[in-house]
Amino acid sequence: MTPMMQQYHEVKRGLPRDTLLLFRLGDFYEMFFEDAEIASRLLGLTLTKRGETPMAGLPYHAADNYVGKLLAAGKKVAICDQAEPAKAGKLVKRQLTRILSPGTTLAANQLDAARNHYLCALAHDKAGLHAAWLDLSTGEFKIATDPRPENLLPVLTALDPAELTVAEGALEAWKTAPHEQTALHALHHFAAARLVTDLPAYQFETAGGARSVMNTLGVLNLEGFGLAPTHPALGPAGALVYYATENLCAKPENLRGLQEYRSARTLLLDPATLRNLEIFASSRGTREASLLAAINRSATSAGARLLERWLAAPTLDLVEIHRRQSIVGELIQQSTRLVDLRGLLANVRDIPRILGRLQNRLRNPRELGGIKDTLNQLPHIRAVLASFSSGSQLSTLSSQLQEFTSLRELLPRALAEELPADLADGGYIRAGYDTELDRLRSLTTDNKTWLSELERAEQERTSIRSLKVRFTNNFGYYIEITKANLHLVPADYIRRQTTVNGERYVTESLKQKEKEIFHAEENALARELELFNQLIAAVLDESVALAQTADTLAELDVLAGWAVLAREWDYSRPVLDDGDTLEIVEGRHPVVEQMLKSPSAITANGTSQAFVPNDTVLAADDAQLALITGPNMAGKSTYIRQVALITLMAQIGCWTPAKSCRVGLVDRIFSRVGASDDLARGNSTFMVEMNETANILNNATDRSLIILDEIGRGTSTYDGLSIAWAVVEHLHRGETKGPRTLFATHYQELTQLEKHLTRLRNFSVAVKEWNDDIVFVRRVIPGAADRSYGIQVARLAGLPLSVIDRAKTILAKLETDDTSVELPSAPKARPKKKISVKPDAEDSQLSLL
């Protein structure tokens, strides 16, 4: 085994299992053995062999792109770099510089600029679920604990961490928990969908975690963050700090503090609701056609990520909601200033992630260029904000933006106009900024001028007009004298070589100059790096203030984007209060409305379909439960979802797609919409439906909003009707109040419940009939639908006319209870029974007769 391979194995032995090692050899990173085989398959690299050792290499300058592909494939990658210049005959010293994993990468081209990138740690015990999450790219660091895991899983699902860390054995324990411990099974399901890294259980101990966190944050205690040293989530927090430190090969330097998340302060959306309402991703799994995409008009990456966080944990703080609404309103009223502000924000760079990379030793000149560009915008942004009336919310925001006068003067003076992506390229410090750097550069750029000047000076000094100053690769710089002039050679000339025509000489000054010239480029790069590090230090001295200013800019960006959205789509400011009423006048679905106006929805004659608005009134103690009937394709699902989305938008402070809107604060939004299965866990479509329904019935409160679509449709008609009936009764909740609910159904029998459930109201989606066809009006009106129009919808879907005609015949027989005629192509229908309802005096439920 060669010394280099011994070095390789020494580094490899110290790595976590299943980590690919990129080993720097000159201009390439090489991989060996199984690592080479895996990488060649994932990256399409050529697999070669040295002797019997498999090898695969990738260019050093393109490593980030290749590493990004490995991380996307769920792999971990260790980087071993050369720690000194290569010298002939000597083994180059190498060291592990960082370990990259999906949750700890920092490189810009390995992250989605518009998405937060979380590493999360989880622990569960008798006290409940304890969690910590960290975005290393921005320094966001939070912890949470809750005795009920179902209160934390919604926000964790919304955060969608790229990687989880858990104690060894935890994942298997959650998987094999007793059947009744549904929370642990949900926890396992959440973890199994992500890359999970096991850590020793002692890394999750609370006391050790508290010490690690305090050491990393550089504080003596956690009281300044409102945390006791016994907080159970400090164990997972400590595990995150340990894992991040191991991967960075250094303590993370960009963690500003630690915040506690409390589910009681936020509106919760469980995983099913996030999926059903397409909050962060559409049913196709993309951001396009999601609510987030529909309301995101942010001009900056930091703004887009802040909006994502607001949607993941909508606030219940009325003061904060009203503040955001007011800022949007101020911006809407000043359209010219809004345009100016948006133009300035478009030139703001991603300061949080730039600081994260600089603080964690990932540095290139363009990062400083991003800081410079942003600082140049600050005086103009402050001027626009200051132009609003004194005492306004925007005027207050202006005071939160600092000037950074010294940095704004320093960076433009020090940095070149065009900045390279790599420090090794040089040329990023502006000419004239540093005298020594200018001198070193002149040695490499002004050689010809210097040589001609030296030659002329020596000719005059020696009176030898034929004297020449020359250069060869083998001999370097020299003075050439012909034989006829050797008697004029000065005493300080040192003879170096005899030629046919004369002699070659050097002088002490020429030798010194030669050394300077030979090392000038190397010295110039070293001087540039020294100056660059001074600039980095100046920036990091202001890192806390820069981060705070970046937070304000991100908030301003989100709210300015919402002002643009409101003007573009005619949104109104909702009224939020502590009441239990939800009243929407002419509400529209924020996503569908935009899709109807998209280029792909415009017809050949240039027209597009208009969205039909609808009203909604729900109150926990009055019109609590709206039962909605009508045909498929008429818009029931769109209607109930738009109510939930408008409520959510209102509660994050956004204006809403409605003529007017009043929302009594909602603590949770639940949804049961559509059909899906989970065959991997043995759950049929109906079982998934029942699981989601059970979650709603067990966790909804009087302040919740529930939307239900076609409960009971996954089983037989009578079983499904019975379940739907019982669910409606349960949601009605006796004599006082219950959760505000929209219940869409095809079970016409349920419409009778309006006579006996005092807070239930019947609604239907209107249709018009014409020559056996139906026209969807998309209007929700009071009263029950007279029938489901299923056969007409089937005809619109393109079923063969023979099937449509036969279905009409069968329907006519079933509706008249005529089952005397055998139906050759279908089983004999079950006799249809008339169902009526009456109150049951004993339990206030409704009995079937």
* Residue 635 annotated as lining a ligand binding site: yes
The length of the chain is 849
DSSP string, 702-725: TT-EEEEESTTTTS-HHHHHHHHH
Host H or E run for residue 598 = none
123 and 166 Cβ atoms separated by less than 8 Å: yes
Q: Is 213 exposed, middle or buried (0-12, 13-18, 19+ CB in 10 A)?
A: buried
Cα 622 to Cα 633, 669, 735, 736, 740: the distances in Å are 29, 19, 10, 9, 10
State the Cα–Cα distance between residues 555 and 781, nearest whole angstrom.
Answer: 40
C-alpha–C-alpha distance, residues 617 and 583, integer Å: 4
Residues paired with 79 in a beta bridge = 22, 98
Q: Distance of CA 29 to CAs 37, 73, 829, Å? A: 14, 19, 71
| Cα 400 to Cα 390: distance, rounded to the nearest angstrom | 15
When computed from its CA atoms, the radius of gyration of the chain, rounded to whole angstroms, is 36
Please state, as a whole number, how many other Cβ atoms lie within 10 Å of the Cβ of residue 435.
Answer: 8
745 close to 629: Cβ distance less than 8 angstroms: yes
DSSP character for 572?
B
Contact 470, 503 (CB under 8 A): no
Residue 636 annotated in ligand binding: yes
**630 in a labelled binding site:** yes
Structure tokens at 803: 């099937």
Q: Are 756 and 838 in contact (CB under 8 A)?
A: yes
Token pair in block for residue 189: 């399901």
**In sequence order, which ranges of 465-507 are alpha helices (DSSP H)?**
none
What's the Cα-to-Cα distance from 829 to each of 807, 810, 820, rounded to whole Å?
13, 9, 10
What is the rounded CA–CA span in Å between residue 60 and residue 108? 17
Hey, what amino acid is at 785? A
3-state secondary structure 325-348: HHHHHHHHHCHHHHHHHHHHHCCC
Write out the DSSP string of 661-681: EEEE--SEEEEE-S---BGGG
Say how many C-beta atoms besides its own lie within 10 A of residue 200's C-beta.
11
Any binding-site annotation on 3?
no
Other Cβ atoms less than 10 A from the Cβ of 16: the count is: 15
Residue type for position 255:
L
Name, in order, each residue with C-beta under 8 angstroms of 836's C-beta and a sequence gap of 6 or more. Answer: 752, 849
- Name the DSSP class of 176: T
Closest CA to 510 of 455, 435, 448, 442: 455
Q: Is 631 annotated as a binding residue?
A: yes
Amino acid at 437: L
Cα(62)–Cα(60) distance, integer angstroms: 6
Distance CA 401, CA 545 (A): 9
CA-to-CA distance for 67 and 110, rounded, in angstroms?
8
Q: Per-residue DSSP letters for 782-820?
A: ES--S---HHHHHHHTT--HHHHHHHHHHHHHHHTT---
Residue 632 assigned to a binding site:
yes
Q: What share of the chain is helix, strand, coil (3-state, %, to 5)?
A: 45, 20, 35
**631 in helix, strand or coil?**
coil
Pairing assessment for the beta strands 837-839 and 773-782 based on DSSP bridges: unpaired
Query: Of 618, 639, 660, 589, which is closest to residue 777 (Cα–Cα)?
Result: 639
Residues making up the annotated binding site for ATP are 630-637
Q: Could you list the residues known to form a binding site, using ranges.
A: 630-637
